[in-house]
Structure 1
Amino acid sequence: MGNKVVTFGEIMLRLATPGYERFSQASEFKATFGGGEANVAVSLANYGIESNFVTRLPENDIARACEMDLKKYGVNTDHIIYGGDRLGIYFLETGAVSRGSKVVYDRAHSAISEIELEMIDWDKVFEGVNWFHWTGITPAISQGASDVCLEAIKAANERGITVSCDLNYRKNLWQYGKSAAEVMPELVAGTDIILGNEEDAEKVLGVKPEGVDVTGGHVDADAYLSVSKQIMAQYPRCKKVITTLRGSINANHNSWSGVLYDGKELFKANNTYQITDIVDRVGGGDSFMGGLIYGLLTWPEKDQQALNFAVAASCLKHTIYGDYNQVTVEEVVKLMNGDASGRVAR
């Protein structure tokens, strides 16, 4: 039986200013679609893994265009449910040099924010599935979205499905009266593979990193060992903790790497990439997660290889416009093995 992955969350219409224009300058926006869990599903589909994206969409032409877009990339949309009034939107202003990018959300009362328990038939969704992925964005949307996310995690746990999570702390999203620290621990308790950075660990799980400085482009990988150990102590189900290491020199130049802790050993990625001319960094973490899931499914006994693949995959994402990481396994392996020349293939 082949691998089959399900991701669950919100997908939005993305409206981005052209080039590096500010919102105040823009007279038009470029329309694409994106969202953390959908981005992971697209990555996996590109790598030849059967991926299924589950969400709730309104019955209108924009939502149909969104579903067609997902299908174009090979993502299965059979378990999407319909209802509600609107698709969420996010506006993106791409930063440059010392001016950071900005995101403005317009997702209140979106179809998925009004989702309720038992709307999704998880028995059907999880047939033949061996991996389920969620992110901390979904329980931040609304109480209903949080409830359904927990419902999915429990259903996956009952079936012995591996559950992964990107903690993805978004302070602007937690608006319905509960904090991440109140909601997330119960969901994380049912999770096997946890991805997060130093802010996620502190804001979501109350785990404070020691001796970590991500300013000035320097990140000390060893400093994350204490964070990983604390997370595993708090959440005994957890088998691996993974941290992306992003050093922000400026908006166009980041260093990029990662570490993985399996409870015994801290694996460091073989490469730290200097991404000097970022095309689009939105979806960078999702592309890492997509690469990681592919790596762990493909090389289950080789955590180092899975980590190297994830870091290389997400490095390539920074060269691609839009939320989705549109790369092949061959392209990732080529970079992973040291070919960063960018020469023309012909």
Structure 2
Amino acid sequence: MKKVVTFGEIMLRLATPDYLRFCQATEFTATFGGGEANVAVSLANYGLKPEFVTRVPKNDIAESCLKELHKYGVGTSHVVYGGDRLGIYFLETGAVARPSKVVYDRAYSAIAEIKPGMIDWEQVLAGADWFHWTGITPALSQGAADVCLEAIKAANKMGITVSTDLNFRKNLWKYGKTASEVMPALVEGCDVILGNEEDAEKVFGIKPEGFDVTATGGKVQAAEFESVCKQLMQRFPRAKKVIITLRGSINANHNTWAGVLWDGKQLFQSPSYDITHIVDRVGGGDSFMGGLIYGLLTYTGDDQKALNFAVAASCLKHTIYGDFNMVTVAEVENLMKGDGSGRVSR
């Protein structure tokens, strides 16, 4: 069984019910979520052995969070305790022409105050096949960025595949450093790089010529992003695969969804899905990453199938409430085969 280690922050998610705006809500639905934890849950559902590493306070809310991860089969034996609070984010789900909104309340969270040396990465990564992090983690604080770099260097030394989701979040980079200053040293140690149509531009200034994400009309042409993949691989020569997710936003409830993968020689393009009634798109990119890691570890040498699995898995996530993608390999593979009918299974 393949072992995958992910590192990052998990938060309490408080969402307004029934498409209510923040100013209308009198109650919030509480769940948990966070980029790297979401990936770990996907991998557990696919039968792999994920280990999620983070720092949380020693209190009942953090314990409830870890128990939620245990329920899905995610290991937390290397979680570090300390600090005073678990981060929170508030979600207002958009509809039609009104976009969703996220408000973060994660300043001074336990992981934001993490320091180098708090985690024994060689012990954590012993026996691991893969290590995954996202650009959200180094955005939290200098300490989080330093610990992330510690983990990447240890994984490189141990010959473990390292992946990143660039995940640029402008509202998080508040501690005096920009993503462009911090991210290059971290991405240099990565074998697999995932981003969307904005990440490469916002972090590295790399973009496809003549492309405007706000003017796609829901149609994103995969071939336009071959140049982005090539430029990222030139900038980070350790990378063996660069993947771009392609979201065409018709409105808040209706998106097209696809992806491309560049292996240094060939551009693989996935089928495009028309997602007409989105239930919850938060965690969509994480579900793609979870599917991609599973695909690359399982369908060895078949990058096309790995990409198709990632896109199909993420398509299904858009139908599931909460951050976690609670689907099975069989469900994803059925969609890959073209069964998107949604007929009752009995």
TM-score, normalised to structure 2's length? 0.99
Alpha-carbon shift at residue 324 of structure 1 (Å): 0.1
- Deviating beyond 2 angstroms after TM superposition, the runs of 4 or more aligned structure 1 residues are 211-215
1:148 counterpart = 2:150: no
> Which residue of the partner structure matches residue 315 of structure 1?
315
Q: Which residue matches 1:100?
A: 99
Conserved in 2, the CA contact under 8 Å of 1:295 and 1:306? yes
- 2-structure distance, mates of 1:292, 1:322: 20
Which residue of the partner structure matches residue 46 of structure 1? 45
Q: Give, as a single letter, the amino acid of the residue that structure 1 aligns with 2:262.
A: Y
Alpha-carbon distance in 1 for matches of 2:48, 2:266: 28
Q: 8 Å contact 1:213–1:220 — kept in the other structure?
A: no
**CA distance in 2 between partners of 1:313 and 1:72 (Å):** 20
Structure 1 equivalent of residue 230 of structure 2:
229
User: Is contact 1:150-1:187 (8 Å) kept?
Assistant: yes
| Equivalent in the alignment of 1:161 | 160
Matched AA of 1:326: M
C-alpha separation in 1, matches of 2:182 and 2:139: 9
SS in 2 for 1:308: helix
CA distance in 1, matches of 2:70, 2:248: 34
- Residue 198 of structure 1, CA deviation: 2.1
What residue number does 1:242 align with?
A: 243
1:119-170 Cα offsets, whole Å, 9 max, x none, are: 0011110110010000000000000000000000000000000000000000
SS of match in other structure, 1:229: helix
Q: Which residue of 2 aligns with 1:284?
A: 284
Aligned residue number for residue 199 of structure 2: 200
Residue 197 of structure 1 deviates from its aligned partner by 1.2
Give unmatched runs, 5+ long, in structure 2: none
Identical counterparts, % of pairs: 74
Matching residue's letter, 1:253: H
Q: CA deviation at 1:102?
A: 0.1
Q: How does 1:1-346 map to 2 (within 5 A)?
A: 2-214=1-213, 215-269=216-270, 271-346=271-346
Deviations 1:219-253 (A, max 9, x none): 01111011111111111100000000000000000
Alpha-carbon displacement from aligned partner over 1:273-320 (angstroms, at most 9, x marks no partner)? 100000000000000000000000001200000000000000000000
Q: Provide the TM-score with structure 1 as the length reference.
A: 0.99
Q: Distance in 1 between matches of 2:229 and 2:248?
A: 19
Could you say what secondary structure the match of 2:182 adopts? helix
Number of aligned residue pairs: 344
The answer to whether the 8 Å contact 1:116/1:148 transfers is: yes
CA distance in 2, matches of 1:197, 1:308: 16
Q: Which runs of 5+ in 1 are unaligned?
A: none
SS in 2 for 1:198: coil
- 8 Å CA contact 1:113–1:145 kept in 2: the answer is yes
Q: Which residue identity does 1:42 align to in structure 2?
A: V
Question: Distance in 2 between the 1:95 and 1:208 partners?
Answer: 28
Shift in Å, 1:212: 2.4
